[in-house]
Structure 1
Amino acid sequence: MNTETLTNPSLPKEKPVGKTGVLIVNLGTPDSPSVPDVRKYLREFLMDERVIDIPYLNRWLLINLIIAPFRAPKSAKIYRELWTPEGSPLKIYGESVEKKLQKVLGDDFVVKLAMRYQSPSIENGLNELRKLCLSEIIVVPFFPQYASASTGSVYKKVMEVVKDWEVLPEIKFINRFLDHPKFVEGFVNLGKKYMAQREYDHFVFSYHGIPERQITKGDVANYCQFGTCCDTLNEKNQHCYRAQCYETTRLFVKGMGIPEGKYTVAFQSRLGKTPWIKPYTDELIPELAKKGVKSVLAFSPAFVADCLETTIEVGEEYKEIFEKEGGEHWQLVESLNDSDIWIEALEDMVRKA
């Protein structure tokens, strides 16, 4: 190595000797829509202490004696609606992104797909990359907004796997990408596509919810009030999931030219009786219909690939609620999936990392 580069930071860094590994990580999906596979997935997912952050024994009893036995058959039925002949859409899109990203990055990179829960696992992906004697590994969790239960869980799992490696390459994480220009542009373009087809009375931005206590636990600055504190994203709330969701919405709204008063941020998929961040999407929808809103364009910007929470929950279940309350047209904006602009965003993030 040229020792001058160590003492003179203005000189360009030398190119790494080896290749760079890229581990792209999404949430996960059951191996099949069968009840045993869905139960297995639910157990792994919900036993994660960052997802359900209660004492281990209480969590074990809740998941293994109540949620997994009784929820798995219902969830399996929904997964069967979602499933395609090729398998789970989330995994199909992930495999497609893996191939496309590998192609655009070229031979200096090795791209591997992993799921936080189930297969292909983070452990297997990292061990495959380990064998290649890489100079560095870049981990890209597929979560636009940081949350302890999503991105934080990926960090934790990666470090659990590599902590005993004798030789550790440099490991970098993409913390969030809610404000990446290509990510924003991708959703804005999809929204404009539907807005060109018809006028919409209202726009709903539905994000996956988390318990309020997880926001409070991460609020080291004691800044959160679950209210106007999220009106801006600043140094005190930059890691707050709720604040990041509102910032994502502001960027989308600006890009699409949606006026104030015509859009709402809400949160879906809550579990249990403890308070989750509000407003709840399923409670918001009847209120909109009662106010005379007849047409809604709905976004689910916490996801980059269509899955049960987007296609079924937002696209079908919420549509049914809206129409039952008197609404006439509910349209889900699909996720970025394996679109060219999503690949461009990923390529840019990886190269800059």
Structure 2
Amino acid sequence: MQRTGILLVNLGTPDSAEVADVKKYLKQFLLDERVIDIPAFNRNLLVRGIIVPFRSPKTSALYKKIWREDGSPLLYYSLLQQQMLQEKLGDTYHVELAMRYQNPSIQAGLASLRDKLVKEIIVIPLFPQYASASTGSVMQLVMELVSKWATIPPIRMVNSFHDNPLMIAAFAENARIHGPENYDHVLFSFHGLPERQLLKCDHTGTYCLKSDDCCETLNDVNKFCYSAQGHDTA
């Protein structure tokens, strides 16, 4: 029986909370040209010469405060998500987990699906809203890796799921636990991006940040804009 392969991809985590592993993680993460989208020389100087040496000890200390006895919290819950999805989908699917940075790697996840002889691969970056620095980076690496395969199976990539009813229902259910009706306002907070990365999503150069309300409604121009998708989710 041929199965469909699913590759869940989360952001990443150090292999341990120790400074050496945090340094490896931060280097791989911040040297990604889609994350810090400045010229390579400047990016290397900034990351290798300033950010990693000075930030790693502080970040290591913070990781140690949340680190579980069985490892990274993000990896623990991501593996649990993989297991639950596998149980939900059954034997007609094979679900693998990967991290964009560090382990388990995307290369290992793709190789495992190839070895399972799946009939197609569905790549699902676990970021509801599209951003070049997250989903775009995952897609680029997947394409680079499979381009080296002699036989490339059908591959589908989920660009975003910011408006998926099941995702929104899950968020709403989590919010209800805290009694939002008892508050005057509910604030939605999303991860920030530099404005230059938002501008790159507007290939026309005529819409993004041209007005104060450019992100409030999705349209053909801003449909891949992280900010516009965030507004749509909220």
Q: TM-score, normalised by structure 2?
A: 0.96
Structure 1 Cα separation of the partners of residues 133 and 218 of structure 2: 20
SS at match of 1:208: coil
User: Which residue matches 1:220?
Assistant: 203
Query: For residue 109 of structure 1, what is the amino acid of its counterpart?
Result: Y
Q: Does 1:230 align with 2:218?
A: no
By relative contact order (CA 8 Å, sep 6+), the higher-ranking structure is 2
Q: Is the 8 A contact 2:163 2:233 kept in 1?
A: yes
Aligned residue pair count: 232
Q: CA deviation at 1:18?
A: 2.2
Match of 1:202 in 2: 185
- Name the structure 1 match of 2:47: 63
Match of 2:68 in 1: 84
Map 1:135-284 → 2, pairs under 5 A: 135-195=119-179, 199-221=182-204, 222-225=206-209, 227-249=212-234
The within-5 A match list for 1:87-126 is: 87-126=71-110
What secondary structure sits across from 1:123 in the alignment?
Answer: helix
Aligned equivalents of 2:184, 2:63: Cα separation in 1: 31
CA positional deviation for 1:199? 1.6
- Give the Cα–Cα distance (whole angstroms) in 2 for the partners of residues 160 and 220 of structure 1: 23
Percent sequence identity is 51
Hey, what does 1:26 align to over in structure 2?
Answer: 10
Give, as a single letter, the amino acid of the residue that structure 2 aligns with 1:42. Answer: L
Please tell me the root mean square deviation across aligned C-alpha atoms, in Å: 1.3
How much does 1:99 deviate?
1.0
Deviations 1:163-182 (A, max 9, x none): 01010100001111111111
- The CA distance in 2 between the partners of 1:214 and 1:231, in whole Å, is 18
CA displacement at 1:136 relative to structure 2: 0.3
Instruction: Give the match for residue 298 of structure 1.
Output: none
CA offsets 1:288-314 (integer angstroms, 9 cap, x no match): xxxxxxxxxxxxxxxxxxxxxxxxxxx
Q: Which of structure 1's runs of 4+ aligned residues deviate more than 3 A?
A: none
Q: Match for 2:207: what amino acid? A: Y
Structure 2's unaligned 5+ residue stretches are none
Q: Contact between 2:201 and 2:222, CA under 8 Å: does it hold in 1?
A: no
State the SS of the aligned residue for 1:201: coil
Q: Which has the larger radius of gyration?
A: 1
Q: Structure 1: give runs of 5+ residues left out of the alignment.
A: 1-16, 250-353
TM-score for the superposition, normalised by structure 1 = 0.64
CA displacement, residues 102-144 of structure 1 (integer Å, 9 cap, x when unaligned): 1111111110000000000000110111112221000000000
CA distance in 1, matches of 2:177, 2:52: 40
Which whole-Å CA distance do the structure 1 matches of 2:81 and 2:146 have between them? 25
Structure 1 match to 2:114: 130
